Amino acid sequence: MRMIAVSNHKGGVGKTTTTINLGAGLARLDKKVLLVDLDPQAHLTYSFGIQAHDLEKTVFDLLMGKLDYNDVIIKKDGLSIIPSSLDLSGDYKKKLMSMDRREYLLKERLNSINGYDFVLFDCPPALGIFTLNALTTVKEIFIPLQTEFLALQGMSKLLKWVNIVQKKYNKDLQITGIIATRYNHRKRLNKEILEKVEKYFQDKLFHIRIRENIAIAEAPSFGQTIFEYSPHCNGAVDYLNLSKEVIEKGDKNVA
């Protein structure tokens, strides 16, 4: 079972979109996938047409130890989803912060998890307690990177944070994938950014680029993955090919 945090300090780089559609792509390739929404904005949850503000069982109940992970899972579109809660902000966040071993709450709650090939964690665009919990739980990080200068700056902050987590909380944590999103091969800047990333990260940059595609942005408003909303568009093709590459790279690493 591969547990992967999808994270980037900068918002708007396709983090939630990638978590959803990579998960859906893996499911189409007959993998059992669990998605965990750790973002207080609950964008992943809402993107599946699940009304986070109406839910009685969410990831907050899991973190607080009130419910087992099986009790909060919602099945949808061939995926298992642990939904987020707007309660993760404000006073509820303070409750979590006051708990013992707060950095390891998620790891301890998911300690007995089984039956999945992939568990993907959608992290908030902030390096706080929820992202930290994800990074202490997983061994892998995928970083979606919009191919522009500011997104590259956001990734540099994440790299510093990963280094701290490796030293203090999780020595097994590794960046195993960089995913280029909203890519346009006609833009010189896009190519230049990828050249820099490839020079630094080498084979950690996935070969598949997620091309700029309006259908990817439209799909969440219909509560659908890209494969349901527009199965033949560039976005669906790219995310399915990315899913194949994720599996292939993982198999090689295991070998």
Distance of alpha carbon 98 from its chain centroid, rounded?
A: 26
Cα separation values, 69 from 83, 116, 206, 217, Å: 11, 13, 31, 30
Residue 91 confidence (pLDDT) above 70: no
Tell me the sheet residues that pair with 4: 120, 140
The DSSP string of 127-167 is: -SHHHHHHHHH-SEEEEEEESSHHHHHHHHHHHHHHHHHHH
Across 158-182, average pLDDT: 91
- Tell me which amino acid residue 177 is: G
Q: How far apart (Å, rounded) are the C-alpha atoms in residues 88 and 82?
A: 14
Q: How far apart (Å, rounded) are the C-alpha atoms in residues 76 and 154?
A: 32
**Which CATH fold would you assign to the domain 2-254?**
Rossmann fold (3.40.50)
Q: How far apart (Å, rounded) are the C-alpha atoms in residues 89 and 240?
A: 34
Q: State pTM to two decimals.
A: 0.92
In this predicted model, what pLDDT tens digit does every residue of 12-30 receive, in sequence order?
A: 678 999 999 999 999 999 9
In this predicted model, what pLDDT tens digit does every residue of 196-229 receive, in sequence order?
A: 888 888 889 999 999 999 999 999 999 999 999 9
